Amino acid sequence: MRWRTRPAAILAILPLLAATAFAQARVQVVPDEAHRKVDVTVDGKPFTSYIWPITLKKPVLYPLRSAKGTVVTRGFPLDPHPGERADHPHHVGLWFNHGDVNGFDFWNNSDAIPAAQAPKMGTIVHQKVVEAKSGSGQGSLTVESEWKKPDGSTLLKERTEFVFRADGTSRTIDRVTTLTALGEKVVFNDNKEGVIGLRVARGLEQPTTQADTFLDANAKPAPAKVVDNTGVSGQYTSSEGLKGDAVWGTRGRWTMLTGTVDAEPVTLAILDHPGNPGFPTYWHARGYGLFAANPMGEKVFTEGKKSFDLTIQPGASVVFHHRIAILSGTATADQVEALYRAFSGS
C-alpha cells in the first residue's frame, strides 16, 4: 500500500530525525508460529513482536522499543516489573478492538474476567500469517484474524497489514486494519472502550497522587498508600493544542505523549488517517498510561450530546489506518504535525 509524502513535510521532519534519519536499517520480519509470534528486528536488534499467546484474548504487538532499545510499553501482565501498575490486565502492548460489538465486549476480555461475565465477552483469534517481508528501511507483515462470539461463531474477518519502518532515531508502525462483516450486520455501538490502544511504561504515565495498586519489589501486586512519582514524566499534547488530562475525550488528528523512560527522553504519537471512520478521532488518553484513539465513543466523550455507531452490513468492509511513531527525544507539536502531513498526504 502506498501513501503520498510531501517534500515540504519531509524537510520539516529533518530537525527531529537528524542526519541518521534516512539510514537504511535492515528490518527483518520473522514468523515463529510454533511459539505463536512474529519477531521484528532492526539490524538484528529487537523492535517488537506480533504475538497471539493462549493467555491473551487478542493478538497484540508487544513490547515496543525505541531506536535505542528502550521498552516504552508496560510489562504487566506478561512480564511484570516492580513499580508498574497492576491494573487492567487486558491492556497489553498495542492492540485493536472495541468494547461493544453487537453487544459483545472485545476490549475488557482477559483471563482475569469472572466466569459469570464470559457470555458477554468477545475474542479475536489469530488465524494465519499471510505474508512477512523483510527489507532495507522497512518490513511488513500481513495477518488474518476472526472476531468471535462466546459461542465460537465468527462476527468479523480481520485482515491487517503492519508496515514497520526504522532509522537511527525513530521507529514507526502503520496498522491498516480491514474488517469484513460475515452473515449478519455488525454494529460497533458507541462505547468509550476502543479502538486502537497502547499501554505505556511507568515513566510515560502522568504524575499523580491518587492511590492505586502497584507491583512491589517482588513484582507482586500491593496497594500503595503513597504514590511514588520518581521518574514519572509523561504529558499528552493533542493536535488541537490541549495538554495533559485536558486531552481526554477531545477530538484531534493526532496526539503525542512525551516523557523519559530509563533515562531516555522519548515521544510516542498516534496519527489518525483522514480516511478513517469518525475522523478526527476522540482520544481516550488516560494519565495512568492508557493511550488510545476511539471515534466510536462520542456519546461518553460529549456527555450524551452526540453519538456514533459504526455499522457494517453483511459482506461489507471498513478500513482503519493508523500510524504509531516512537521518536528518540522530546518532539515539538510542529514536528509531529509534519509527521502527520507526511502520513496523511495533506
- Report strand pairing: 94-98 vs 194-199: antiparallel
Is residue 1 situated within a structural domain?
Answer: no
C-alpha cell at 129: 500469517
Is residue 271 situated within a structural domain?
Answer: yes
Cβ–Cβ < 8 Å for 135, 154: no
**What is the DSSP track for 223-290?**
EESS---TT---EEEETTS-BGGGGTT-B-SEEEEEEEETTEEEEEEEEE-TTSTTSSPBEEE-TTSE
Q: How big is the CA angle at 144 (ends 322 and 282), to the nearest 5 degrees?
A: 25
Q: What is the pLDDT along the chain (346 residues), one digit of tens a residue?
A: 444 445 445 445 545 554 444 458 999 999 999 999 999 999 999 999 999 999 999 999 999 999 999 999 999 999 999 999 999 999 999 999 999 999 999 999 999 999 999 999 999 999 999 999 999 999 999 999 999 999 999 999 999 999 999 999 999 999 999 999 999 999 999 999 999 999 999 999 999 988 899 999 989 999 887 888 999 999 999 999 999 999 999 999 999 999 999 999 999 999 999 999 999 999 999 999 999 999 999 999 999 999 999 999 999 999 999 999 999 999 999 999 999 999 999 8
C-alpha cell at 53: 499467546
Cβ–Cβ < 8 Å for 47, 65: yes
State which amino acid sits at residue 244. Answer: G
Alpha-carbon torsion, ordered 199, 203, 206, 211, to 10 deg: 90
Q: How many domains does the chain have?
A: 1
| Element containing residue 171 per DSSP (H, E) | strand 170-181
The strand pairing partners of 198, in sequence order, are 94, 291
CATH number for the domain spanning 68: value is 2.70.98
Q: How big is the CA angle at 46 (ends 55 and 233), to the nearest 5 degrees?
A: 80
Is residue 2 situated within a structural domain?
Answer: no
Give the structural domain span for 92: 7-344
State which amino acid sits at residue 211. Answer: A
Write phi, then psi, for 267 (nearest 5 degrees).
-130, 125
- How many whole angstroms separate alpha carbon 24 and alpha carbon 19? 12
- How many whole angstroms separate alpha carbon 311 and alpha carbon 150? 21
| Element containing residue 131 per DSSP (H, E) | strand 123-133
Considering the entire predicted model, what is its pTM? 0.92
Look at the block and give the residue holding cell 504487566. Answer: 76
Is residue 14 situated within a structural domain?
Answer: yes
- How many whole angstroms separate alpha carbon 317 and alpha carbon 278? 15
State which amino acid sits at residue 334. Answer: D
